[in-house]
Amino acid sequence: MDDLKNKYLTAINEAGDEATLEDIRLKAVGKKGEVSLKMRELGKMTPEERQVAGPKLNALKDEINAALAAKKVALEDAALDKRLSEEWLDVTLPSRPARQGSIHPISRVSEEIYAIFADLGFAVAEGPQVEDDWHNFDALNIPPHHPARQEHDTFYMHRDEGDDRPPHVLRTHTSPVQIRTLLDQGAPISIIAPGRVYRCDYDQTHTPMFHQVEGLCIGKDVSMANLKWVLEEFFTAFFGTEVKTRFRASHFPFTEPSAEVDIQCKWDNGTVKVGEGDDWLEVLGSGMVHPNVLKAGGIDPDEWQGFAFGIGIDRLAMLKYGIPDLRAFFDSDLRWLKHYGFNPLSVPTLAGGING
C-alpha cells in the first residue's frame, strides 16, 4: 500500500497541467482506478483483515484526493501568474471618453416633426401655457357644459375671493395657439403648434403633462383630401416606410366634419410595427375647421376653409422607438436616458432619419 501511495503522490507532484492531473485521478481513484479496485476486494476479506485494510485504504484515498485538489489549485495559480506576467494594462492611460449628455427622445422626436412639416410648408407657432378660458375653450367652440371644462379634466388656476378675472387654465391642447395666430396673421396660413399641454390623467398611456403638436392649414380650396395627403406624407417620412391611413367619422367641437385617423400596423410578440400588416392603430384626431372657430379667429368662413389635426408627440416617440410606458418619459433615471437617448451630434433629416 505504501508503494501505491508513493507512486500516485509522486505522479501528482510531477503533473504539469490539469489534463495530466485528471488522468492520474482516474487511474488512482476513478471507478476503475487502482485504489477503487482494492476497496472492492474488502468484501472478499475476513472481518479481521477488513478491519485492518479498510481504514488504510480510506486514508490512502483521502490523501490522494487531497493531493489532487492541492495540485489543481497550484496549477490554476501558476496559469494565472503566467497570464499576468504576459498581459499588462497601463493604468496611466486616460479612460475612453464618455458621452456627457443625451438628447431626450421627446426633444429628438419634436425636432424630427418640425423638420418634416417644414418640408411640407408649415411654419412653427407658439403660445402661452397658461391660457384664459376664452382662448382654450370658447373660441374653439367648446360649450360650457362640455366635460373637458370640468375640474376633474382640467387644471384651473387658483383665484382669491373677490378676484373677478376670467378663469385661467393650464392649456389642455395647443389649439389656442391656432386662434392667436389666426387673429395675428390671418389667412391663408399653414402652421404647426407644438408644446406642453396639461390634463388631469395618469396611467400607462396618459400623464398630467404631455407634448402635443397641432396642425392648421387655411386656404380657399383646402379639403379633407389635402389633410389625408399631408398626414400620409408625414407618417411615411417619420416612420421611414410607406404608411397607409384610415379615416373614421368622429366628433370634435372644433372641427366639422371630424375624423379619427388610424395608421396601418401589425402586432408582433407584443410590439407594434407601423406600415405593415392588416391591423389599425388610432393615432390622432382631425377634421375641417368649424366655421365658429374660423369666426373666433377673425376669418370669414364663407371665404376660407381648412383642416386641423392634433398628435401626441410622446405617443409617436413610443411607437417609433419601442418605449412601452408613457410615464417613463418623466420619472426614469439616467440609465433609461442612456438607453433611449440620442447623441447630441446627431441631427434629424427631413426624412425623419438619424445622422451622426
Rounded CA-CA distance 314/326 in Å is: 7
Residue tagged 390671418 (cell numbers): 186
Rounded CA-CA distance 110/337 in Å is: 16
Strands in the chain per DSSP E: 123-124, 130-132, 168-170, 189-198, 209-219, 245-252, 255-268, 271-274, 279-289, 305-312, 347-348, 354-355
Encoded amino acid at 175, one letter? S
Residue tagged 370634435 (cell numbers): 252
Quick check: 167 and 156 in contact, CB under 8 A? yes
Phi, psi of 268 (to 5 degrees): -135, 105
Annotated binding site: which residue ranges?
A: 256
Quick check: 50 and 42 in contact, CB under 8 A? yes
Quick check: 304 and 297 in contact, CB under 8 A? no
Encoded amino acid at 276, one letter? E
C-alpha cell at 60: 490512502
Rounded CA-CA distance 319/321 in Å is: 6
Annotated binding site for Mg(2+): which residue ranges?
A: 256
Phi, psi of 187 (to 5 degrees): -120, 155
